[in-house]
Structure 1
Amino acid sequence: MAGGPVANAAGEASAYTHLIDRTPWWKNRRLILLNAWITLFLITSSTNGYDGSMINGLQSLGQWNAAFNYPSGSQLGLLSAIQNIGSLCAYPFAPYLADGIGRRNTIGVGAVFMVAATFIQTASQNVKMFIGARWLIGFGLTFAATGSPLLITELAYPSHRGQATSLYNSLWLFGSIIAAWTTFGTFNIPSSWSWRVPSAIQGLPSVIQIVLIWFAPESPRWLVSKGREQEALKTLAYYHANGDYKHPLVEYEFEEIKAAIALDREVENSVGWLTLFKTPGNRRRVRIIVALAFFSQWSGNGLASYYLNKVLNAIGITDPTTQLLINGILSIWNFCVCVIASLLCDKVGRRGLFLVSTFGMLVFWTLQTVCFSLYSEHGNAAAGHTFIAMIFIYYAFSYNLFLDDLAYSPLIVTYTVEILPYSLRSKGFTLFNFTISLSLIFNQYVNPIALQALGWKYYIVYIAWLAFECVFIFLFVLETKNRTLEETAALFDGDESVARIAHPAAEMAEAPKDHEVRVDDEKGSTSAVDSVKI
């Protein structure tokens, strides 16, 4: 079959574009089922998003503060940061688990850890027990959060991949909404159940995953890497072509994946963590991945993500009901804007959204700083109210792995996963998550201390940092839309690497087939299926 034009470093055309079925996905029952499975993977992010908003809300609950002796300063920082410390402890194992037992099973392992942890968290009798449970949540989350984006990216229908992967971080905000309104709803419970109920609900997404994940499809790329090519072909045909094993798109995807995995095997013994830094292309990838990870947490967003009540106290809004209401409304606002941005990522492009987002953050963070200073120095009530409006507008541009809207939340996972080749995808994504955890731990310890010591002047630090982010994004972030995962390598490694992957797919039409593929039943079971000779 003719593969079509292969994208190069400068071009926009993709080899599979003309093979895509343009029928709306909701009219194709196989794509409906595929997207239902992807939704199951997406809710991993909801557990993480739930945590950030829950901790924010619990700080406004008198019952929670009384139960743990009114934590403040470094102890409050530890309560917020301990989940990410748990995540750090799991990072050495997560990529090997994802590559060894598969993306799907890795999600299941992480979900089991998180269910156990939320049970301990709900039953906590003292602050040490609560901290230990949050550490275990972070430990399990690392496994689930490593497997989920990889499986989404490697399983999604080609024209849906960018949007589906972008929705992963957007679902952080769905969890944030549930947590914000749960803590608002339990605020008036006159017992410890005011904080135990939100703690218990945090495990719900993981319970759903434990029940269903074992029936979900596995990544075709992982299956091919383990020599299970017929299972990979079956998965591609069943979900991408209504069971048609001879569909041109399925043949193209299958041969492209096999060629890419074959190239990876040529250097398999030399692929390790240092491989991320050995070639110019990989160093460019790492530079962008690490930068985006830090930007996602060091853009001022951490102040409202984990310490919104401290910020609101600083501008005179001290009523717990009002604080919880603002937290809940902000979560809904962020989610709506973030989902819209996720669905636009293939139309506007990654680079365009990153640029608009970063420059928008700089402008509206500066306005927040001005309002904060006017209230702090002169007691200007109007400036305090305007500051709240600026928070909402800022988050329409900003990024937080958890509370970003326009670019960073929907795009950083998408962009990180798609610029990495298969052999480095799990390791590179682990490096990305490791960097985020480091930046979060720093933020969660430093922000409450610095805010208390410097007040509004602390906001000036982030103005300077956001200006640096704008320059970096403009100089180094490349556009990757409308390319397959394999074709994206051209942007970093040059056209030759993509030509080597595309060559087998392009010659597939002339290659003799050993047997015809027969679909024996509607579920897509096969007989006498042999691979195409290359």
Structure 2
Amino acid sequence: MADTTVTKGHFKVCGREFPAVKWWALPNLRSTYCLLFFVVLTSATNGYDGSMVNGLLSLEQFDKYMNHPSGSIKGLFSGIMFLGSLLALPPTPYIADNLGRRWGICIGSTIMILAVVLQSASVNFQMFIAARFFLGFGVAIAHGCAPLLITELCHPQHRAIFTTIYNTTWYIGSIIAAWLTFGTNNIDSQWSWRIPSIIQALPSILQISCVWFVPESPRWYISKGRPEQALKVLAYVHAEGNPDDEVVQLEYEEIKETLAIEKEAEQTGWLELFKTKGNRHRLLILMSAGLFSQWSGNGLVSYYISGVLDGIGITDPDTQLVINGVLNIWNAIVATTMCFFVDKIGRRPLFLFSTAGMMIVFVVWTICSERYNATLVHANGNAVVAMIFLYYTCYNTAWSGLLVGYTVEILPYSIRAKGMCYMFACVDIALFFNTYVNPIALEKIGWKYYIVYCVWLAAELVFVFFFYIETRNTPLEEIAKHFDGDAALVGGAAATEKGRILEHDIHEKEHKEAVSEVREEHVGL
């Protein structure tokens, strides 16, 4: 929204410098950020699901009830959810843009609750799989709206950190599910897996109950011809209710100017990302980020840690669940910590370090797995566990938080909702492929499957090096210049000038039409 940079003790809006804001000292901003926690729950819900499925596959009761599913059926348990998400993506931008960000979250959460009811009542794996399809459908809608509301509502000073934190909360849900399934493992009945499934509805229930207390996006209000409501929200959240605050006025004017430019340019369709060199560059980053975030070997552990641990001689369900639970806690610590270094270190260095680190660690991981299979020495198996923790340390340096944080900021407002759908589509395609193929590959060829990821990670590193652009300390609207050059539709002072030109052109057109009408009247006389 606002043309913003952050420096030590200050932040800039539209070229003007202002003292840094302490959000905890301002009641309205503090309450808004606390309420945004319920928006962030969308990502946590996604994380809960991934870890829950991981845990259920380690439960003997679930395995027995589902009649000992094969690798392909296990793949469907997780993969069908991502197919549902993929099919929900096309309508998501229209829900977000026409009904509002909050309604999108509410609709997605309602679908998820109904799907959880069906999942928890499942009597066979067909019913369970059908429920997970609808669960994915609801997640996609909520996931496509939540980051937009956060981005467009946060104070300019805090936007980069908040958007990066959003995706890292995946691990909060993951931690809860991991330890919950560990606890229910001791229940010698169907409730050992039905209880975690039922509790999956809790975040969605909280979202439906609380999201209406979160203000709607000011930009959405303006797009719907309600500028007074937009100014009221900006004043409440960013200036303790003062509509005459300078920051609020700068933001308000910039939003109106940016929307006017976008409307004049008419660059809002699905194909806009293919039409210009800058947008094609954006599309490459969006699609690669979606694929790389899931096709980097992390899917092996995120959804099938039981198969990985079985391959190194760790077969006890309790031990597997403990490793899964501790790993998720570690992931949450690393991912959240790195959010606060995004502006200090930069996006590109973090992506390069993360990808290079994953590649090196995965090679060692593969060697240790081969050595265990050749020697059955437990020390080699334990080394694999250590490599898993080290691998995720590298992964969480960039790919967990910046998956959303980086892709959101490189997109102009006019195509932000649709652009994010391209990225999420690639995530779902990668997850559907991975969750279906990984258990089959692990079952058939074991550790040799890791070699594929070693080669792929090397290709990822080359791609990131050549295509990922540094955006650190660049105002949000000015980021467009990295992709579009002089043709960038930027906000702030540039948008103000373009707004004046647009206004002048409109008045000149109206003047010519009026003169033409007068002449026609004279001719008629």
The normalised TM-score by structure 2 is 0.91
More divergent stretch after superposition (238-247 vs 280-289): 238-247
Counterpart check, 1:277 vs 2:274: yes
Give the superposition deviation at 1:51. Answer: 0.6
- Counterpart contact for 1:40–1:209, Cα < 8 Å: yes
CA 110–180 in structure 1, closer or farther in 2 if over 3 Å, else same: same
Aligned twin of 2:470: 479
Correspondence 1:120-269 to 2 at 5 A: 120-268=118-266
Within 2, Cα distance between the matches of 1:502 and 1:479? 23
Give the superposition deviation at 1:507. Answer: 10
- Counterpart contact for 2:3–2:477, Cα < 8 Å: no
Aligned twin of 2:372: 375
Within 2, Cα distance between the matches of 1:367 and 1:486? 42
Q: Give the letter for the 1:341 counterpart.
A: M
Aligned twin of 2:356: 359
Correspondence 1:347-426 to 2 at 5 A: 347-398=344-395, 405-426=396-417
Once the two structures are superposed, residues 137-158 of structure 1 have per-residue CA deviations (whole angstroms, 9 ceiling, x without a partner) of 1011111000001111111111
Other structure's SS at 1:388 match: helix
Counterpart check, 1:52 vs 2:43: no
Other structure's SS at 1:273 match: coil
Aligned counterpart for 2:479 among listed residues 483, 488, 499 = 488
Aligned twin of 1:311: 308
- Counterpart contact for 1:16–1:249, Cα < 8 Å: no
- For structure 1, list consecutive stretches of 5 or more residues without a partner in the other structure: 8-12, 399-404, 510-534
Within 2, Cα distance between the matches of 1:233 and 1:314? 59
Give the superposition deviation at 1:91. Answer: 1.1
Other structure's SS at 2:271 match: helix
More divergent stretch after superposition (298-307 vs 491-500): 491-500
Q: Give the letter for the 2:313 counterpart.
A: G
Aligned twin of 2:439: 448
Within 2, Cα distance between the matches of 1:498 and 1:6? 18
Q: Give the letter for the 2:365 counterpart.
A: Q
- Counterpart contact for 1:52–1:305, Cα < 8 Å: yes
Once the two structures are superposed, residues 301-341 of structure 1 have per-residue CA deviations (whole angstroms, 9 ceiling, x without a partner) of 11001110001000000001100110100010000111001
Within 2, Cα distance between the matches of 1:499 and 1:50? 39
Once the two structures are superposed, residues 434-481 of structure 1 have per-residue CA deviations (whole angstroms, 9 ceiling, x without a partner) of 111111111111111112222212111111111111111111111223
- Counterpart contact for 2:45–2:173, Cα < 8 Å: yes
Other structure's SS at 1:44 match: helix
Within 2, Cα distance between the matches of 1:463 and 1:139? 32
CA 454–101 in structure 1, closer or farther in 2 if over 3 Å, else same: same
Aligned twin of 2:457: 466
Once the two structures are superposed, residues 212-231 of structure 1 have per-residue CA deviations (whole angstroms, 9 ceiling, x without a partner) of 11221111111111111111
Within 2, Cα distance between the matches of 1:258 and 1:75? 51
Within 2, Cα distance between the matches of 1:424 and 1:444? 30
More divergent stretch after superposition (462-471 vs 497-506): 497-506
Other structure's SS at 2:233 match: helix
Aligned counterpart for 1:322 among listed residues 313, 319, 324 = 319
- Counterpart contact for 1:6–1:502, Cα < 8 Å: no
Q: Give the letter for the 2:448 counterpart.
A: K
Other structure's SS at 2:75 match: helix
- Counterpart contact for 1:260–1:486, Cα < 8 Å: no
- Counterpart contact for 2:4–2:157, Cα < 8 Å: no
Other structure's SS at 2:158 match: helix
CA 495–252 in structure 1, closer or farther in 2 if over 3 Å, else same: farther
Give the superposition deviation at 1:500. Answer: 6.5
Other structure's SS at 2:342 match: helix
Aligned twin of 1:402: none
Within 1, Cα distance between the matches of 2:159 and 2:106? 22
Within 2, Cα distance between the matches of 1:506 and 1:92? 35
Within 2, Cα distance between the matches of 1:420 and 1:340? 25
Within 1, Cα distance between the matches of 2:110 and 2:138? 7
Give the superposition deviation at 1:4. Answer: 9.6
Within 1, Cα distance between the matches of 2:4 and 2:309? 55
Give the superposition deviation at 1:485. Answer: 3.1
Within 2, Cα distance between the matches of 1:24 and 1:219? 22
Within 1, Cα distance between the matches of 2:53 and 2:491? 49
Q: Give the letter for the 2:446 counterpart.
A: G
Once the two structures are superposed, residues 82-131 of structure 1 have per-residue CA deviations (whole angstroms, 9 ceiling, x without a partner) of 11111112112111111110111100100111111111111111212111
- For structure 2, list consecutive stretches of 5 or more residues without a partner in the other structure: 501-525
Correspondence 1:38-77 to 2 at 5 A: 38-77=36-75
- Counterpart contact for 2:15–2:492, Cα < 8 Å: no
Within 2, Cα distance between the matches of 1:504 and 1:370? 55
Within 2, Cα distance between the matches of 1:5 and 1:217? 21
Give the superposition deviation at 1:428. Answer: 0.6
Give the superposition deviation at 1:134. Answer: 0.8
- Counterpart contact for 2:285–2:468, Cα < 8 Å: yes
Aligned counterpart for 2:25 among listed residues 18, 22, 27 = 27
Aligned counterpart for 1:290 among listed residues 282, 287, 297 = 287
Q: Give the letter for the 1:130 counterpart.
A: F
Aligned twin of 1:100: 98
Aligned twin of 2:86: 88
Within 2, Cα distance between the matches of 1:499 and 1:196? 51
Aligned counterpart for 1:333 among listed residues 330, 334, 348 = 330
Q: Give the letter for the 2:318 counterpart.
A: T
Size of the aligned set, in residue pairs, is: 495
Give the superposition deviation at 1:244. Answer: 1.9
Other structure's SS at 2:114 match: helix
Deviation beyond 6 Å, 4+ runs, structure 1: 3-7, 506-509
- Counterpart contact for 1:238–1:244, Cα < 8 Å: yes
Aligned identity (percent) is 50
